[in-house]
């Protein structure tokens, strides 16, 4: 009987790279600005609403879709723009060697949009060790 090889599913942000240093603060500012502009809120009120939706629904996107009819693609496009994503990614390249040694197939999962996931995979070199990836679009925008 052939040996069964495992399948690994890895979260991307703050698991395989440190998004908390530059990327998440940038996204949080962009989401707050989006909520402020779309809902005519002050920055403080928009920030509070963003946090409320994140804690209640697991994602600001979900709260915006449910409560305001926001189109997910529009929201993600507006909140995931980076002038220099490569300069913002904090990644320990030793992770690649560790992942290569793991037997089986490796996949990435992220609540982020496909364009962001693909860029981070290329920037880090994770695209060379992963079999595939799943983004929020693949889950029909359900985080």
List, in order of start, the domains of the chain with CATH numbers.
7-18+85-139 (3.40.50.1000), 23-79 (1.10.150.450)
Distance CA 115, CA 74 (A): 13
Q: With 90 as the cut, is the pLDDT of residue 25 above it?
A: yes
Q: With 80 as the cut, is the pLDDT of residue 84 above it?
A: yes
Q: Phi and psi for 16 in degrees, rounded to 5?
A: -100, -15
Least confident of 45-49, 119-123, 135-139: 135-139
Q: With 90 as the cut, is the pLDDT of residue 123 above it?
A: yes
Angle between helices 43-57 and 23-39 (to 10 degrees): 110
Q: Are 68 and 137 a contacting pair, CB within 8 Å?
A: no
pLDDT of residue 1: 67
* Mean pLDDT across the chain: 95
Q: Could you give the 3-state DSSP secondary structure of residue 9? A: strand
Average pLDDT over residues 108-131: 97
Q: With 90 as the cut, is the pLDDT of residue 2 above it?
A: no
Q: Are 129 and 122 a contacting pair, CB within 8 Å?
A: no
pLDDT of residue 143: 76
């Amino acid at each position: 009987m052939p040996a069964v090889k495992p399948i690994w599913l890895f979260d991307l942000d703050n698991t395989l790279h440190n998004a908390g240093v530059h990327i998440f603060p940038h996204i949080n500012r962009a989401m707050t600005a989006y909520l402020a502009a779309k809902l005519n809120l002050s920055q403080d009120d928009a920030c509070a609403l963003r946090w409320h939706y994140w804690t209640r629904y697991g994602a600001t996107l979900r709260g915006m879709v449910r409560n305001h009819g926001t189109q997910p693609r529009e929201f993600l496009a507006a909140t995931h723009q980076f002038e220099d994503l490569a300069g913002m990614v904090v990644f320990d390249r030793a992770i690649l060697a560790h992942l290569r040694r793991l037997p089986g197939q490796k996949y990435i999962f992220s609540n982020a949009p496909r364009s962001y996931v693909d860029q981070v995979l290329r920037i880090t070199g994770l695209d060379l060790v992963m079999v595939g990836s799943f983004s929020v679009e693949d889950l029909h925008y359900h985080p």
